[in-house]
Structure 1
């Protein structure tokens, strides 16, 4: 189910024979040698990694994936006003007030345009008296472009799919919050009483079908618009149509508890019933006062809802914290409770793992349960000030915890998935085989239906014989395996191309 309205559904793709784990050994070995020669050449390394096939981007907030220039372009299309004094897009047309200008006029005022791009992203950020930290500036950007957001979800999806295609990404899970406002409003009408979640669900039950229907409708409209922009299903289809996508419903954690519960109630129902939604997450600054106060309560909400819908997959933001943001007793249990209480199958960020109670035991538990960590190097540096060797990426790898590289908010951060791979290569001594393993992890730990093509580092027994009826039948029944096969075929082509290109010799 491709984000752009089924433009390249895995169910419709032809089933090819799975690769041998030793396919094209000479090209693969040559590519590994090329990688070692260019790893300290930033320009050629970036070119290499841009073309490198990437299994998935599993941690991508759709609204944060859009570059500031696009928000300003859409604001101009909508006839909206810019507050140059507040450095934000206003929800109205201009009213001849000082410090305001039409978004349409930004094209003729380069200084104002650059100021707005800096305000709506992390570009050129420098701390100041009015903008104290990367953390505050990062999260503040979303309010500044919010008036344009709802009317351009389809354009945002099209942009994100095109960027994924440029990064040679096979699959993406975009976090979205359709029908968010009415869910929050509904929740506020039904206060929680003594954590009686069953009673809360009963109170919300009459409104749940309508809220879920509205969320599905908004998703339909978004997909239809993206489909139109990308011309999916036509001879002029854009590359983004070839990226397979699902959505993670994201609940906002910085609102009162009844509003969070209403989001989870509808979100679980939506994921359970609509195959476009692969799973559920909870988002917002983890260090926010409400988020910190209610963190344990939120985990118990997830546990209660997971009992109702055990088929719903969870990837939870947890451990996006440092001692500089919260007291140490706020760092010692978020990752563990997201897994042990809420039932998270993946963890987003996980930066504060070393401050957890008995981190060694927790890492062992994550490795044993195959709980993957979505590593977002750029945003962790910009928001938390954690960079290079200070990041626990190598700690997770040393403990055999599965890791994947993700963009988080690539538009706000002014980056992409290629940049995440380059940061990892530059900071740690990763081999070409390490990169392939991380890329494969993206599909192994994606919330896709069907069994994996891989058993550890080996192709499963049923597919050792590439042309066998057993393997062909298996591939038809597993969307995960079909996308994993697509990645392997891309690896083979990439390695043939690299081996033949004089630029990398």
Structure 2
């Protein structure tokens, strides 16, 4: 494959889709487990766990829930749902039903509470996502999911018994309270939970796709006390078990709770970042934060003018912006309402933005030239193509690459760079194959190796180095797969 052949390929969308589906694509670094289950697959689990469906709320009910309900005639049996109202289900469990609604954001976020009503186990959703990624020739997914067991979360919350209103000025003493829970007995709950999930996935045929987990903090639905407790535990968990590769912050930025608590949440994260860096000096503390998922229709200029840069440094105080803390930004759609300094910082410090084109289009109504894709490209800000909530959006990673290529005239070299970015900017442990984040320059051990045969020799010669560096191992595998794909296409 060369630029001329790829240019011809771009003229034929179906053929381009086939090409992209087969092409090795590295990783998806922004994938919510709750948004990754297709309605068609979730339904089969929903009818195993429930007996009724409420046409008013679009939620499932089991017999116990029905007994405690108002028993309205709008609550119908599964049999009646399938006979007369199945389209209501499909339209309200994905963005398929957006055509009948005015507010894309509300419809989008309502699907998640609907999915929860099905009582499907999260491991089933993750299994579906990973199987789909195998079909798409992906090798790695960073999953934003419930990966810290509930019993451990409740243990930490129960121990936080303070006879006062939560006060950020006392955060040091609060850390001492929670620190008493750091025992092998407590933290073994985390290890066992992840062991069981790993065993379930292997038992169900997941072999070719690696997964790294990211627990998520809720900016909208948590008060500062709960946010602090969960942030403490989640960052601790990422230091304790390497299968938890980082921590994410999610939910709607323009909600009242998110607006009111924004600076308080930044202070908590900043303090805990420094706190756990001292406690675990050899561990990388990785934060990827949803930021700038905003438009002028949904938020004020005052709140958008520094949202992304403040998130990167975890402070709105310019004097404290000594070094970036957040390592990736999710969405970043409102960057044009900040100053070019934000883009220059992201470029210089190599802070990538997780680009979710379909999600931005259906939730925010932002696409084409209104999307800042080309602005990031102009300032050489690293970008990673991601899905966000692929099943809710009725998409997948192939569609995301397709949109990037067709809307922003991506050439073949740029496509390969985007693909390689997905592992380079992942939170995989270990050293990188590339020098200074440049995917065209290999480290000295592999310098000048441009053929499959040369790479294979390099891999054998450096097997001990590769065994110690998971990221390097996966990057070499990706380079080899791309060369094999190009040779056979």
* Range of TM-score over shorter length: 0.7 to 0.9
Q: Which of 256, 260, 268 is the matching residue for 1:301?
A: 268
> Cα offset for 1:34?
2.9
SS at match of 2:419: helix
Q: Which of 72, 77, 83 is the matching residue for 2:43?
A: 72
> Cα offset for 1:185?
5.2
Deviations 1:360-407 (A, max 9, x none): 111111111110110000000111110111111111111111100000
Deviations 1:29-49 (A, max 9, x none): 3xx433211212221111111
Partner of 1:350: 332
SS at match of 2:249: strand
Q: Rate the CA distance shift 1:182–1:118 in 2: closer, same or farther, 3 A.
A: farther
Identify unmatched segments of 5+ residues in structure 2. 278-283, 316-324
TM-score, normalised to structure 1, is 0.84
Q: Which of 358, 364, 368 is the matching residue for 1:388?
A: 368
SS at match of 1:123: helix
Matched, 1:146 2:116: yes
Deviations 1:63-109 (A, max 9, x none): 11111222221111113421123212235454564122344664x42
Verify the 8 A CA contact 2:53 2:60 in the aligned structure 1: yes
Partner of 1:126: 99
1:477-492 matches, within 5 Å, as 477-492=468-483
Partner of 1:370: 350
Q: What is the alpha-carbon distance in structure 2 between the residues aligned to residue 384 and residue 481 of structure 1?
A: 36
Verify the 8 A CA contact 1:75 1:103 in the aligned structure 2: no
Verify the 8 A CA contact 1:179 1:211 in the aligned structure 2: no
> Cα offset for 1:189?
5.0
Q: Rate the CA distance shift 1:194–1:267 in 2: closer, same or farther, 3 A.
A: closer
How many residue pairs get aligned? The number is: 452
> Cα offset for 1:206?
3.9
Q: What is the alpha-carbon distance in structure 2 between the residues aligned to residue 91 and residue 318 of structure 1?
A: 37
Partner of 2:318: none
Q: What is the alpha-carbon distance in structure 2 between the residues aligned to residue 487 and residue 141 of structure 1?
A: 35
Q: What is the alpha-carbon distance in structure 2 between the residues aligned to residue 351 and residue 184 of structure 1?
A: 35
1:205-220 matches, within 5 Å, as 205-207=179-181, 212-220=187-195
Aligned CA-pair RMSD? 2.2
TM-score, normalised to structure 2, is 0.87
Q: Rate the CA distance shift 1:297–1:37 in 2: closer, same or farther, 3 A.
A: same
Q: Rate the CA distance shift 1:156–1:328 in 2: closer, same or farther, 3 A.
A: same
Runs of 4+ in 1 over 6 A off after TM superposition: none
Verify the 8 A CA contact 1:153 1:222 in the aligned structure 2: no
Verify the 8 A CA contact 2:159 2:177 in the aligned structure 1: no
Verify the 8 A CA contact 1:127 1:134 in the aligned structure 2: no
SS at match of 1:66: coil
Partner of 1:164: 133
SS at match of 1:473: helix
With CA pairs under 8 Å and 6+ residues apart, which has the higher RCO, 1 or 2? Answer: 1
Partner of 2:466: 475
Higher mean Cα deviation, 372-381 or 35-44? Answer: 35-44
Matched, 1:462 2:445: yes
Q: Rate the CA distance shift 1:303–1:474 in 2: closer, same or farther, 3 A.
A: same
Identify unmatched segments of 5+ residues in structure 1. 1-27, 231-239, 499-505
